[in-house]
Amino acid sequence: MLLRILGSGTIIPSAARRATSLLVEWAGERVLLDCGPGALEAIEESGISYRDVRRIFISHYHPDHTLGLGRFLAAANNDGRYPRRDGIAIYGPPGLEDFLEGWHRLYRGTEPKGYPLEKIEVKGGIVIESDESHIGAAPVRHGGSPALAYRVEEEGTSFVYTGDTGYDERLIELAAKAGLLVAECSFPDGHPAEGHLTPSLVGRVAAEAEVERVLLVHLYPAQFRDPSSVEAVERAVGHIFDGPVETARDGMEMAF
């Protein structure tokens, strides 16, 4: 299993960080977790074609996690030399059907042409299985918006992607004993926001779930304005969680 960080930032523009999206090589497939603005360019920069992606898992419907989705669907319709024939499956929390219909009403070019589009609303549990591998999900708290965290497992290795969430016992249960927790860490401890994690809350989730290590994503600019601020965030997580803590960088890869 190979994890690529396509983006580790937020809706705030940054020359250093695209909005958070992940690409996973799982069970012989390339799977996309969230599809924010810039995700398609990041996929291409990694040496992979967006055409190879057949499954997209959306954590919630805020624009920094979904703006690339309309472009993905429009590109699939307009890639003249390589017309799409392989199906695309999109997974997301309740409201997925209405969300995609909204894209189609706004941009008619996103309606699939020549390939099947499967829409799967997820409430939790095992979402998809393949031999000894599976992808599961759990609902999490993100203000009043339906939101999911995902767990990806393959032959004994695992990681959990929190999406956007506050502290939630369902997240801890999903992340139990995971090899890696890819955790949003939006705001400093002194400036918390509802439905988001701070460094101390990331540390608490990681410690209670007994994960092996933590990778921080979805950092607002104040969290990474210079190397010392990034180190301070990692130390704050480490005050509670005694395993390795690292801040994600766009383009980084992690093999399991």
- The span from the CA of 167 to the CA of 238, in Å, is 17
pLDDT tens over the chain, length 256 residues: 999 999 999 999 998 899 999 999 999 999 999 999 999 999 999 999 999 999 999 999 999 999 999 999 999 999 878 888 999 999 999 999 999 999 999 999 999 999 999 999 999 999 999 888 999 999 999 988 899 999 999 999 999 999 999 999 999 999 999 999 999 999 989 888 999 999 999 999 999 999 999 999 999 987 777 778 889 999 999 999 999 999 999 999 999 8
- The span from the CA of 176 to the CA of 153, in Å, is 12
pLDDT at 131: 83
pLDDT at 115: 94
**Residues in Cβ contact with 236 at an 8 Å cutoff, skipping those fewer than 6 apart:** 188, 189, 198, 199, 200, 203
Asked if 110 contacts 104 with a C-beta cutoff of 8 angstroms, the reply is yes
DSSP run (H or E) holding 207: helix 199-209
pLDDT at 241: 98
The pTM assigned to this predicted structure is 0.96
- The span from the CA of 8 to the CA of 199, in Å, is 15
Asked if 176 contacts 189 with a C-beta cutoff of 8 angstroms, the reply is no
Q: Which of 237, 164, 249 is nearest to 204 (CA)?
A: 237
Q: Per DSSP, which regions of 122-230 are E strands?
A: 125-130, 133-139, 148-154, 157-161, 180-184, 214-217
pLDDT at 66: 97
The partner residues of 126 in beta bridges, in order of sequence, read 136
Within 10 angstroms of residue 129's Cβ, the number of other Cβ atoms is 12
pLDDT at 143: 87
**Residues in Cβ contact with 178 at an 8 Å cutoff, skipping those fewer than 6 apart:** 151, 158, 159, 160, 209, 211, 212
For 156: left if phi > 0, alpha if psi spans -120 to 50, otherwise beta; the answer is left
Length of the chain in residues, anyone? 256
Q: What is the pLDDT of residues 170-188, one digit of tens each?
A: 999 999 999 999 999 999 8
Owner of token pair 């460094």 = 199
Distance of CA 28 to the CA centre of its chain: 19
- The span from the CA of 110 to the CA of 129, in Å, is 28
**How far apart, in Å, are the Cα atoms of 101 and each of 56, 91, 93, 110?**
16, 14, 15, 10
- The span from the CA of 206 to the CA of 71, in Å, is 34
